[in-house]
C-alpha cells in the first residue's frame, strides 16, 4: 500500500491509502481519520473516510494547504499501519431477495443490462460461479459484511464482504446507470454491496429489498430518532433472508413504530480475521444471535 496525497481544489486534500480495496486499506484510513479528528486541527472542517481512501475538507483562509499536507503526513507516519481492532456493532438486516419491486425496476431498465434475458440475481449467480440463485443468496446472506464507507447519498452504506478474496462476490455495474432504484434496494457493484437509502438513480445490480429504513429525515422512526442516519463506517452487517410474509410483517412493525433492529456490540480484530476468517465470522454471528 502506497499512500498518495492530492489536492482537490483549494479546499480538499484527497488521500488514497491504496489503489485496490482491502480491509487493511480501510483500517489504515479509519485510523488516520480518527487521529486527524483527535488532533483537532484548526481549519479542518470535514473528515470523510471512504473505502480505501479518505478526504479532508479545510478552510484555506485558516490553514495553508501545504501546512495541512505536512500535518497529515506526520499523522500518517505516527499512526503506522493503524489499529487493527475496533469496538463496533453487528446488525441484522432482513432482506426479501428477488422481491417484486426491484424485479419490476430491473425489467424496466433491462436494455441497460449485460444480460437482458435474466434477472440481476441470475446474472450475479452465474458470473460468480454459483449453481443457481438459491446458492448465491445463501452466500450473500451467509457471511458478515463490513461497512467501509457511508455516502453517495444520505446514509447509503458501502459494504465489503468478509470472506477470502477468492470467495468475494464481484459483479459489474449496469452498462448504463438506471434513472430509478426503489428505496431500500440491496445492491451490488464491483466488490461492494450497498443499501439505497433513498429512491433515485443507481448503477448497482439489484438483489432484493429490506423493510428496515436506514435514513429518516423526519426522525420519527424509533431507532432513527436520535440521528437520521443509521450506518457508520465500521459497522458489521449480516443479512437475513425473509419471504414476502416476513417482509410484510416487518413493514407493518416499522409503520407501527415497533420494529427494533437486532444490534449487538462486538470487538473486531483484523489480525484474528486474517488468521481465520471462518472462525472469526462464526464468533461474530454467535454474538449476534446471543450464543
Taking only Cα atoms into account, the Rg of the chain, rounded to an integer number of angstroms, comes to 20
Site track 170-189 with other proteins (rule: CB under 8 A), x = hit: x-xx---------------x
Stretch binding other proteins (CB under 8 A), from 12-20, 85-93, 101-109, 262-270: 12-20
Q: Work out whether 24 is an interface residue with other proteins (CB under 8 A).
A: no
d(C-alpha 72, C-alpha 78), whole Å = 10
Work out which of 21, 41, 137, 212 binds other proteins, going by CB under 8 A. Answer: 21
Classify the C-alpha dihedral 245-247-253-259 as positive or negative. positive
Which one of residues 229, 262, 272, 287 is an interface residue with other proteins (CB under 8 A)? 229
Stretch that binds other proteins, among 101-109, 132-140, 193-201, 258-266 (CB under 8 A): 193-201
Residue 60 touches other proteins, criterion: CB under 8 A: yes
**For residue 147, what are the contacts with CB-CB under 8 A and spacing of at least 6?**
157, 158, 159, 231, 232, 233, 234, 235, 236, 237
What is the end-to-end Cα distance of the chain in Å, rounded? 37
Q: Are 182 and 199 in contact (CB under 8 A)?
A: yes
Least CB distance to other proteins at residue 259 (A): 20
Q: Which is nearer to other proteins, 57 or 264 (CB)?
A: 57
Using CA atoms, how far residue 136 sits from 67, 85, 171, in Å, is 50, 30, 12
Distance CA 175, CA 37 (A): 39
Binding of other proteins by 16 (CB under 8 A): yes
Q: Could you tell me the smallest distance in angstroms from the CB atom of residue 73 to other proteins?
A: 16
Contact between 178 and 167 (Cβ < 8 Å): no
* 55 binds other proteins per the rule CB under 8 A: yes
Nearer to other proteins, 172 or 241 (CB): 172
Residue 261: CB minimum distance to other proteins, A = 18
Asked if 22 is part of the footprint of other proteins (rule: CB under 8 A), the reply reads yes
CB of 245 to other proteins, least distance (A): 29
Grid coordinates representing 1? 500500500
Q: Which residue has the cell 489499529?
A: 83
36 binds other proteins (CB under 8 A): no
Contacts to other proteins from residues 95-114, by CB under 8 A: none
What is the separation of C-alpha 79 from the centre of its chain, rounded to a whole number of angstroms? Answer: 24
Q: At what angle do helices 120-127 and 133-140 cross, to 10 degrees?
A: 80
9 binds other proteins (CB under 8 A): yes
User: Residues in the site for other proteins, rule: CB under 8 A?
Assistant: 6-12, 14, 16, 18-22, 45-55, 57, 60-61, 65, 149-156, 158, 160, 165, 170, 172-173, 189-192, 197-198, 200, 215, 217, 228-229
Amino acid at each position: 500500500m502506497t499512500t498518495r496525497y492530492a489536492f482537490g481544489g483549494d479546499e480538499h486534500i484527497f488521500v488514497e491509502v491504496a489503489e485496490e480495496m482491502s480491509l487493511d486499506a480501510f483500517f489504515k484510513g479509519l485510523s488516520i481519520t480518527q487521529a486527524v479528528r483527535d488532533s483537532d486541527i484548526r481549519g479542518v472542517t470535514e473528515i470523510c473516510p471512504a473505502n480505501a481512501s479518505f478526504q479532508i475538507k479545510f478552510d484555506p483562509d485558516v490553514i495553508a494547504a501545504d501546512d495541512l499536507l505536512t500535518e497529515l503526513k506526520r499523522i500518517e507516519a505516527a499512526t503506522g499501519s493503524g489499529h487493527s481492532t475496533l469496538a463496533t456493532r453487528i446488525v441484522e438486516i432482513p432482506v426479501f431477495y428477488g422481491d417484486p419491486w426491484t424485479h419490476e425496476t430491473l425489467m424496466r431498465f433491462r436494455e441497460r443490462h449485460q444480460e437482458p434475458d435474466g434477472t440481476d440475481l441470475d446474472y450475479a449467480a452465474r458470473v460468480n460461479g454459483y449453481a443457481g440463485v438459491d446458492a448465491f443468496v445463501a452466500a450473500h446472506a451467509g457471511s458478515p459484511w463490513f461497512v467501509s464507507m457511508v455516502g453517495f447519498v444520505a446514509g447509503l452504506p458501502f459494504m465489503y464482504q468478509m470472506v477470502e478474496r477468492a470467495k468475494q462476490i464481484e459483479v459489474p455495474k449496469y452498462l448504463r446507470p438506471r434513472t430509478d432504484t426503489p428505496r431500500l434496494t440491496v445492491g451490488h457493484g464491483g466488490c461492494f454491496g450497498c443499501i439505497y437509502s433513498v429512491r433515485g438513480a443507481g448503477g448497482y445490480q439489484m438483489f432484493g429489498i429490506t423493510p428496515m429504513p436506514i435514513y429518516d429525515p423526519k426522525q420519527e422512526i424509533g431507532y432513527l430518532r436520535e440521528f437520521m442516519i443509521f450506518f457508520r463506517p465500521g459497522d458489521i452487517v449480516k443479512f437475513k433472508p425473509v419471504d414476502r410474509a416476513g417482509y410484510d410483517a416487518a413493514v407493518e412493525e416499522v409503520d407501527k413504530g415497533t420494529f427494533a433492529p437486532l444490534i449487538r456490540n462486538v470487538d473486531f480484530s483484523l489480525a484474528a480475521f486474517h488468521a481465520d476468517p471462518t472462525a472469526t465470522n462464526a464468533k461474530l454471528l454467535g454474538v449476534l444471535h446471543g450464543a
